């Protein structure tokens, strides 16, 4: 836009220099006059539009005048500025920088996982995502000292360095399991110090994957399997103990019932019950012969149903 305005001004100056020749030709003078009016209107419109800058949602604008970064920051929306300044738009929303061993998943194509050592000398591969944003108030200083390629200059090297510095303080199995949160917290503190004063605000560090050497993974898997087998055995033993207790309770109940029955049943009651049972059998349609023992002897053929 500034270039266009300068171009129009040059043409306007040339038209004034041709003013003397235009006076000798009235027709040419009218054309040049109309041309001047159009140029003046165009320059005016150009100045107005060059003084208006729209900043999108989640962005800020940093003004640059003749190569010098100004301290004022333009907010989202329509802003009036000096027509001579340039505006560099910066994103202040949450940004993610991913370093992953999966192809095309991270910021760098290919295997970009962080290879590091643990305190017990084992080699680890870590997939990490760093969430961060730019500070609005410190954006001019960031642009002045780092430029717009702050990811490559600060975020990436600081993240990889923090991960390597912290990992040597932990055992591989601790990073993989029990002390994973402590490991991430230490990395976060390290990165916050690296970003401090740079215009970059750390939000969160995501440890997405920890890849251990194959032998270590096999040992961990075997340990977990052994723990699961032990838990299963505890469950089985508890179940068997409960079943044994149930049988003991059942046996005590049967024993008590037998004692009660034996103490209350008389020979006369048993004889009466025996006769009632024979009566039912003899009257049944399914029977043709009923043989009844009596006094340990068998009495043949008492009744035939025809």
**Residue 19 pLDDT > 70, yes or no?**
no
What pTM, to 2 d.p., does this model score? Answer: 0.59
Residue 195: predicted pLDDT: 92
Q: Does domain 94-212 fall into CATH 3.30.479.30?
A: yes
Residues 6+ apart with CB under 8 A from 57: 76
Question: What is the C-alpha separation between 283 and 25, in angstroms, rounded?
Answer: 148
Residue 274: both structure tokens together: 């025996």
- Residue bearing the bigger pLDDT, 195 or 107: 195
Q: Across residues 57-79, what is the average pLDDT?
A: 86
Q: For helices 180-195 and 156-167, what crossing angle results, to 10°? A: 140
Give Rg (Cα) of the chain.
48
pLDDT band at 297 (very low <50, low <70, confident <90, very high): very low
**Residue 17 pLDDT > 70, yes or no?**
no
pLDDT band at 257 (very low <50, low <70, confident <90, very high): confident
Mean pLDDT of the chain, nearest integer: 78
**Residue 106, SS3 per DSSP:** coil
Residue 56: predicted pLDDT: 86
**Residue 98 pLDDT > 70, yes or no?**
yes
pLDDT band at 275 (very low <50, low <70, confident <90, very high): confident
Q: Across residues 76-93, what is the average pLDDT?
A: 84
DSSP 35: H
Q: Across residues 13-24, what is the average pLDDT?
A: 57
Q: Tokens 């991270």 map to which residue? A: 106
Q: How much of the chain is in helix, strand and coil states, percent to nearest 5? A: 50, 25, 25
Residue 283: predicted pLDDT: 72
**pLDDT, tens digit, 9 for 90 and up, residues 279-290:** 776 676 665 555
Q: In the 3-class helix/strand/coil scheme, how is 9-44 assigned residue by residue?
A: HHHHHHHHHCHHHHHHCHHHHHHHHHHHHHHHHHHH
**Residue 130, SS3 per DSSP:** strand
Residue 94: predicted pLDDT: 93
Question: What is the C-alpha separation between 150 and 148, in angstroms, rounded?
Answer: 6
- Residues spanned by CATH 3.30.479.30 within the chain? 94-212
Q: Across residues 164-190, what is the average pLDDT?
A: 89
Closest to 211 in 3D by CA, of 148, 256, 166, 167: 167
**pLDDT, tens digit, 9 for 90 and up, residues 239-254:** 888 888 888 888 887 7
Which segment, 8-17, 64-73, 109-118, 186-195, is predicted with the most confidence on average?
186-195
**Residue 132 pLDDT > 70, yes or no?**
yes
């Amino acid at each position: 836009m500034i270039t266009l305005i300068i171009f129009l001004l040059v043409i306007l100056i040339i038209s004034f220099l041709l003013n003397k020749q235009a006076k000798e030709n009235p027709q040419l003078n009218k054309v040049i006059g109309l041309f001047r009016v159009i140029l003046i209107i165009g320059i005016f419109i150009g100045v107005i539009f060059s003084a208006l800058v729209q900043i999108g949602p989640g962005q800020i604008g940093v003004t640059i005048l003749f190569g010098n970064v100004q301290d004022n920051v333009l907010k989202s929306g329509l802003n009036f500025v000096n027509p001579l300044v340039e505006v560099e738009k910066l994103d202040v929303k949450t940004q993610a920088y991913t370093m992953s061993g999966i192809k095309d998943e991270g910021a760098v194509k290919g295997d970009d996982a962080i290879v590091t050592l643990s305190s017990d000398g084992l080699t680890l591969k870590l997939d990490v995502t760093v969430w961060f944003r730019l500070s609005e108030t410190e954006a001019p200083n960031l642009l002045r000292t780092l430029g717009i390629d702050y990811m490559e200059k600060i975020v990436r090297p600081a993240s990889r360095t923090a991960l390597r510095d912290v990992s040597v303080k932990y055992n591989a199995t601790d990073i993989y399991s029990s002390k994973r949160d402590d490991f991430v917290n230490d990395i976060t503190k390290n990165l916050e110090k690296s970003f401090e004063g740079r215009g970059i605000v750390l939000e969160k560090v995501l440890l997405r994957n920890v890849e251990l050497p194959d032998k270590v993974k096999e040992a961990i898997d075997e340990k977990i399997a052994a723990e699961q087998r032990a838990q299963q055995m505890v469950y089985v033993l508890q179940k068997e103990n409960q079943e044994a207790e149930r049988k003991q309770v059942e046996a005590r109940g049967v024993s008590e019932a037998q004692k009660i029955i034996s103490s209350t049943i008389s020979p006369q009651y048993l004889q009466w019950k025996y006769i009632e049972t024979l009566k039912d059998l003899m009257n049944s349609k399914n029977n043709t012969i009923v043989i009844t023992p009596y006094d340990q002897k068998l009495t043949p053929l008492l009744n035939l149903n025809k």
